């Protein structure tokens, strides 16, 4: 069995009682362990798929991604097709042939992605047992973790690749999870619904909850959360952040290609339809794509998935569809998602992810995950996909109070800390009657939530322990690690992001409201560029940081507040870049006006 359980948390859909401390057992929104006490697999001999990294030139991959993401470079935004990128920067045909031949001798099927970085190796348990000379272990699905998991372990550690495959593979992840719908809890979670209702009834403590002082547009449904001014409706958020002004210039999401990644979370279609009717937008079609180990769509209705889809849908009024990529919970879900999001009929303009895991979990046991993920994200940058990730909701202590107390240092989560994603932190937004910004400060709801053991609820930020400072942060941080977040948007619980859950409108908080919102806006921008004959934006950070450094910045500089959660005294906002609000809040129409054209 694994030395430590892995817990993956969703960043958003926070109500007071929904906070899940990192390191604790998680429900359908925060994810259960990758593996638990093991049992030997018996005679049914199911097929198991392991994710494998292919041999490749990592330095060439990094160089190509950097060139295509740096304004002013001759290759800036020059995005090849996924097939051509795979041929140029992935495994060679010879390497793939050698892998297929070696695997065939063992009775293992090989499926290679178009990008030639990742392959999926599938065989019955009996075949894997023979190849390894070990017995695979499995777990039984439960309502809190509806997956049957399989792991090839050598003692307490992951087993290395079978000897005959070690020279033809680069990374090896010998763990697999298969979703079992019959073990899942279908539909709306009664506990989650009750938590949202309790939040609406709460007056806030020790301070009263702030109210929505903007103007709710006529025609909005008269739900209790709206009448109580406990929530911002989409039109208000879009007005404050420049999305409405962007739409007035014709950038409304026509032909936008957005993928929302869900680790274990399904949705209720009626709630999405009710949200569109309540808030006055046309709901796009949701195209569900399933990942490895997901034989049918998730039957649960996750408030996290509702938040992601409703937020993105409201910001893309002319989009015909949004792709929901459903992957398994656990670390393999990230790797599978970063490969599958690119491997469809067309690569997305933008992908949005609202989940993460404490960086401290990525010890030597999980190094192959990290290497594979970073190269898959480099490939995304090469082919023109922006990846937006929520920074997290536990302030400066994303790894939990115990680790914070022991180390005295701030902690962040991955993949928000990747050098190839845009990490979104959180703010508290206050509006004027005309729905323009009155004030905006770092999100930290501790003054309004009593009885919550730190960490949280506050926007995450701090230095990475895994990732060195990328080239695009050279102007804002000293030599050292990658820091997060990159930008910030609304994260406060109340008034917060609107969702419909179980037929009712609720206010929710979390950086996973800001992540799909930014993703939707960038997808609309990329679609507009494509419509004018230009390539998509691709990895956005070098552009964002250079735009923020210009004489007239398209960011609102957040200079007040802290995301400290009584454990670690980090991090505060101040003029310029900081580890509480990043570059600040993007004003979408002004940001789009700064987009550099390709050199060609």
| Per-residue model confidence as pLDDT tens digits over 211-250 | 999 999 999 999 999 999 999 999 999 999 999 999 999 9
E strand or H helix at 111: strand 109-112
353-376 average pLDDT score? 86
Task: Give the model's pLDDT for residue 587.
Answer: 98
Q: Look at residues 183, 204, 237 and tell me which one is the last residue of a structural domain.
A: 183
Same domain, 284 and 306: yes
What's the rounded Cα separation, in Å, for the pair 506 and 528?
A: 32
pLDDT at 100 > cutoff 50: yes
CATH of the domain at 450: 3.40.50.200
Number of domains into which the chain is organized: 2
Is the model more confident about 29 or about 118?
118
Per the structure, the complete domain to which residue 68 belongs is given by: 9-183
Side by side, the strands of the sheet bearing 118-124 are: 109-112, 118-124, 47-53, 171-173
pTM above 0.85, yes or no: yes
Share of the chain above pLDDT 90, in %: 83
Count Cβ neighbours within 10 Å for each residue of 278-305 and write b for 16 or more, e otherwise: bbbbebbebeebbbbbbeeebebbbbbb
**Does residue 371 sit within a domain?**
yes
Same domain, 30 and 104: yes
Per-residue HEC secondary structure of 311-353 comes to HHHHHCCCCCEEEEEEECCCHHHHHHHHHHCCCCCCCCCEEEE
- Asked if residue 269 and residue 162 are part of one domain, the reply reads no
332 falls within a domain: yes
Does one domain contain both 198 and 98?
A: no
139 with 220, same domain? Answer: no
pLDDT at 363: 64
| Pair 212, 170 in one domain | no
- The mean pLDDT value for 170-177 works out to 94
Instruction: Say if residue 95 is in the same domain as residue 154.
Output: yes
Q: Please report which confidence band the pLDDT of residue 475 belongs to, taking 50, 70 and 90 as the band edges.
A: confident
Is the model more confident about 116 or about 367? 116
With bands split at pLDDT 50, 70 and 90, how would you rate the model's confidence at 43?
low
Q: How confident is the model at residue 12 (pLDDT cuts 50, 70, 90)?
A: low
Split at pLDDT 50, 70, 90, the class of 565 is: confident
At 323, list the tokens.
Answer: 């792709």
> Quick check: is 549 in a domain?
no
Same domain, 226 and 360: yes
Question: What is the reported pLDDT for 406?
Answer: 83
Say whether both 126 and 207 belong to one domain. no
The answer to whether residue 104 is domain-embedded is: yes
The answer to which of 30-34, 296-300, 416-420, 439-443 has the lowest mean pLDDT is: 30-34
pLDDT (average), residues 565-574:
87
| Residue 600 domain flag | no
Tell me: do 336 and 238 sit in the same domain: yes
The pLDDT tens digits for 146-160 are 999 999 998 888 899
Residue 412 lies in a domain: yes
Q: Is residue 406 part of a domain?
A: yes
Which of 148, 167, 183 terminates a domain? The answer is: 183
Asked which of 117, 150, 183 is the last residue of a domain, the reply is 183
For residues 300 and 117, give the distance between their C-alpha atoms in angstroms, rounded to a whole number. 32
Mean pLDDT of the chain: 91
pLDDT surpassing 50 at residue 37: no
The answer to whether residues 493 and 589 touch, using CB atoms and an 8 Å cutoff, is: no
- Is residue 479 in some structural domain? yes
Asked if residue 132 and residue 33 are part of one domain, the reply reads yes
Instruction: Mark whether 248 and 168 lie in a shared domain.
Output: no
């Amino acid at each position: 069995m694994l030395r430590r359980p892995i817990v993956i948390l969703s960043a958003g859909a926070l109500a007071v009682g929904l906070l899940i401390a990192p390191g604790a057992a998680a429900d359908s929104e925060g994810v259960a362990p990758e593996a638990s006490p093991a049992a030997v697999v018996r005679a049914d001999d199911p097929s198991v798929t392991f994710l494998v990294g292919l041999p490749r030139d990592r330095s060439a991959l990094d160089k190509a991604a950097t060139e295509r993401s740096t304004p002013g470079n001759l290759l800036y935004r020059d995005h090849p097709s996924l097939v051509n990128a795979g041929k140029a920067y992935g495994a060679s045909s010879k390497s793939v042939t050698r892998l297929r031949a070696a695997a065939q001798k063992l009775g293992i099927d090989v499926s290679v992605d178009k990008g030639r970085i990742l392959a999926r190796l599938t065989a019955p348990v009996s075949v894997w047992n023979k190849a390894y000379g070990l017995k695979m272990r499995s777990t039984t699905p439960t309502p809190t973790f509806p997956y049957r998991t399989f792991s090839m372990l050598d003692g307490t550690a992951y087993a290395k690749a079978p000897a005959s495959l070690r020279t033809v593979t680069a990374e090896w992840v010998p763990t697999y999870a298969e979703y079992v719908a019959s073990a899942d809890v279908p539909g709306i979670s009664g506990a989650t619904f009750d938590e949202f209702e309790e939040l609406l009834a709460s007056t806030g403590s020790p301070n009263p909850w702030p109210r929505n002082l903007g103007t709710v547009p006529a025609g909005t449904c008269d739900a209790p959360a709206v009448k109580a001014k406990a929530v911002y409706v989409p039109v208000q958020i879009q007005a404050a952040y420049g999305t409405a002004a962007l739409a007035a210039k014709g950038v409304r999401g026509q032909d936008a290609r957005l993928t929302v990644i869900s680790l274990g979370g399904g949705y209720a279609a009626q709630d999405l339809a009710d949200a569109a009717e309540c808030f006055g937008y046309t709901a796009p079609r949701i195209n569900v794509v399933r990942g490895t180990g997901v034989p049918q769509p998730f039957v649960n209705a996750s408030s996290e998935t509702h938040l992601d889809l409703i937020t993105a849908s409201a910001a893309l009024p002319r989009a015909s569809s949004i792709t929901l990529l459903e992957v398994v919970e656990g670390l393999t879900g990230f790797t599978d998602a970063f490969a599958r999001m690119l491997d469809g009929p067309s690569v997305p303009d933008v992908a949005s992810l609202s989940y993460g895991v404490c960086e401290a979990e990525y010890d030597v046991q999980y190094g192959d995950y990290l290497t594979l993920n970073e190269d898959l994200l480099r490939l995304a940058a090469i082919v023109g996909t922006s990846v937006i990730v929520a920074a997290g909701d536990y302030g400066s202590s994303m790894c939990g109070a115990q680790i914070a107390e022991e180390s005295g240092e701030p902690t962040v989560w991955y993949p928000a800390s990747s050098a190839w994603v845009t990490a979104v932190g959180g703010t508290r937004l206050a509006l004027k009657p005309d729905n323009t910004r009155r004030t905006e400060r770092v999100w930290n709801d501790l003054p309004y939530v009593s009885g919550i053991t730190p960490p949280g609820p506050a926007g995450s930020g701090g230095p990475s322990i895994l990732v060195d400072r990328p080239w695009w942060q050279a102007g804002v941080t000293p030599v050292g690690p990658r820091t997060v977040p990159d930008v910030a948007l609304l994260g406060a619980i109340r008034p917060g992001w609107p969702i419909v859950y179980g037929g009712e409108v609720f206010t929710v908080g979390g950086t996973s409201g800001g992540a799909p919102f930014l993703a939707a806006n960038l997808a609309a921008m990329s679609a507009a560029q494509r419509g004018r004959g230009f390539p998509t934006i691709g990895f956005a950070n070098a552009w964002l940081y250079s735009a923020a450094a210009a004489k007239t910045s398209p960011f609102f500089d957040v200079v007040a507040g802290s995301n400290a959660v009584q454990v670690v005294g980090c991090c505060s906002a101040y003029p310029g870049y900081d580890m509480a609000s990043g570059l600040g809040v993007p004003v979408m129409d002004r940001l789009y006006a700064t987009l550099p054209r390709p050199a060609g």
